[in-house]
Structure 1
Amino acid sequence: MTAPDDLLRGVEATLFAATEPLRADEISRHLGGADVRPALAALTEHYAGRGIHLVERGGRWHFQTAPDLAHLLRREKEDVRRLSRAATEALAIIAYHEPVSRAEIEAIRGVQTAKGTLDVLMEAGWVRIAGRREVPGRPTIYSTTPAFLTHFGLSSRGDLPGIGELRAAGLLDPVDEAYAVLTGSGEDAADDGDEDGAGAD
């Protein structure tokens, strides 16, 4: 695949057929090791004003609906994977402080975090086990995934609100701001179950 037009079409077809976002090197392997970076840049520009965009999130490329058209595709029924406030707070803490252990999450939240809360985040594909802390007891540590970046429209964790933005918004605790960012509305999106149950693991 040597002709530029063929390479462009090959990259486009590979991304269209992919079941999940792909890294540039993964796309390249599909196309005989070709340098796909110029094609990705050209396709990004080509799709910029169209109904779908080619975007890069956490080093992985995929097509997504143009943000201004999202309302046309929004489902009216309630999302069955809607997170409780406890789960959203845990997700925000992991995003800002990763890699982080469950004990560290609890120290920031000020309450116990049920094992089920982290299980929900892992089942959603937004959090993964990142290894173990090299301290006594070797606690499990958690970090976010590329799927987290994709779902919330972030190119990287650097797109999370910074200290300056938080201060300008009158918020000192990044968890509060992240809660609003991740839910899209703040308090209105919170579940009634703020705290985890007493049977925390």
Structure 2
Amino acid sequence: MSLDHQKVKRIVEGALFAAGQPMKLDKLAALFLEEEELPTEMLVDALNELKQDYAERGVMLKEVASGYRFQVQENIGEWISRLWEEKPARYSRALLETLALIAYRQPITRGEIEEIRGVSVSTHITKTLLEREWVRVVGHRDVPGRPAMYGTTRQFLDYFNLKNLDELPSLAEIRDLDTINAELELVQMGMDPNGQLDVEEISDSEEENEEGTAVAPVEMEAMESESQAADSEQEPAAESAQAASDDAADAESDRAEQEQETKLD
């Protein structure tokens, strides 16, 4: 018993919506019994027609690494995202640069990433990438210490709407991270709900520290000026006291001489 093309198309459409996750061609084919005699070409034709049918709708049929899936059209994502109150995940520039190096240079070790970037890779960055299942340990470099080598995962391809690594843009086509982040709804600076480092807060803190160190010398100078002023006020008083003491001594000496002269007379 063979199925007509339109029914196959509706079955595939319903399966992709019901699955809630990407489905590969073999999984879709497994929905049909052997006696239903479904040619692979008919399944592929149904998928291609569904792509065309949904091209101008609110959702689209997209093939990613894990298979085919329906997803929101990119040009209306801004409005659909308002259905959820939570903010989208936000990542630092350092994390995005590390992820890019793993994607383009894989397999690559942490030390090699640090050598290219010129700064150390924090444990928080590698932990975040591993927890998101965007990267995984694919082996160990055969050098002293046997450092872990990192590579991207199928989840990475799915998240960034890629079928395979060949679909990564060439390095010549990559624009600045600001533009990429805007398209991916990623934020280079800011703090996520898990307490990721906030670049702006660091800048504010540094400015406060700079202001604090700038004030300290002024306060010290004021204290020194007050001390000098006090010393200046004390100097005339000390001179007056010394002069009075000298006058008293001279007067006492004159009186003693007069008494001595009186006794002689």
TM-score, normalised with respect to structure 2: 0.59
Which amino acid is the alignment partner of residue 7 of structure 1? V
Contact kept in structure 2, 1:152 and 1:182, CA below 8 Å:
no
Structure with larger Rg: 2
**Ranges in structure 1 where 5+ consecutive residues have no aligned partner:** 170-176, 195-201
Contact kept in structure 1, 2:22 and 2:66, CA below 8 Å:
no
Look up the SS of the partner of 2:48 in the other structure: helix
Contact kept in structure 1, 2:61 and 2:69, CA below 8 Å:
yes
Aligned counterparts of 2:60 and 2:23: Cα–Cα separation in 1 = 15
Task: Give the C-alpha shift of residue 143 in structure 1.
Answer: 1.8
Aligned counterparts of 1:155 and 1:121: Cα–Cα separation in 2 = 20
> What's the RMSD between the two structures over aligned residues?
2.9
Aligned counterparts of 1:66 and 1:160: Cα–Cα separation in 2 = 20
Q: Percent identity?
A: 35
Aligned counterparts of 1:182 and 1:147: Cα–Cα separation in 2 = 19
Determine the structure 1 residue equivalent to 2:108.
100
1:22 and 1:129, CA in 2 relative to 1: closer, same or farther beyond 3 A?
Answer: farther
Determine the structure 1 residue equivalent to 2:12.
11
**Ranges in structure 2 where 5+ consecutive residues have no aligned partner:** 191-196, 200-265
1:102 and 1:145, CA in 2 relative to 1: closer, same or farther beyond 3 A?
Answer: same
**Alignment of structure 1 residues 5-154 onto 2, 5 Å:** 5-32=6-33, 34=38, 35=40, 36-58=43-65, 60-75=67-82, 79=87, 81-154=89-162
Aligned counterparts of 1:139 and 1:77: Cα–Cα separation in 2 = 41
Aligned counterparts of 1:63 and 1:180: Cα–Cα separation in 2 = 28
Which amino acid is the alignment partner of residue 131 of structure 2? E
**Alignment of structure 1 residues 161-200 onto 2, 5 Å:** 161-166=169-174, 177=176, 179-180=177-178, 182-184=180-182, 189-191=187-189, 193=197
Task: Give the C-alpha shift of residue 44 in structure 1.
Answer: 1.1
1:140 and 1:70, CA in 2 relative to 1: closer, same or farther beyond 3 A?
Answer: same
TM-score, normalised with respect to structure 1: 0.75
1:102 and 1:45, CA in 2 relative to 1: closer, same or farther beyond 3 A?
Answer: same
Contact kept in structure 1, 2:66 and 2:158, CA below 8 Å:
no
1:85 and 1:69, CA in 2 relative to 1: closer, same or farther beyond 3 A?
Answer: same
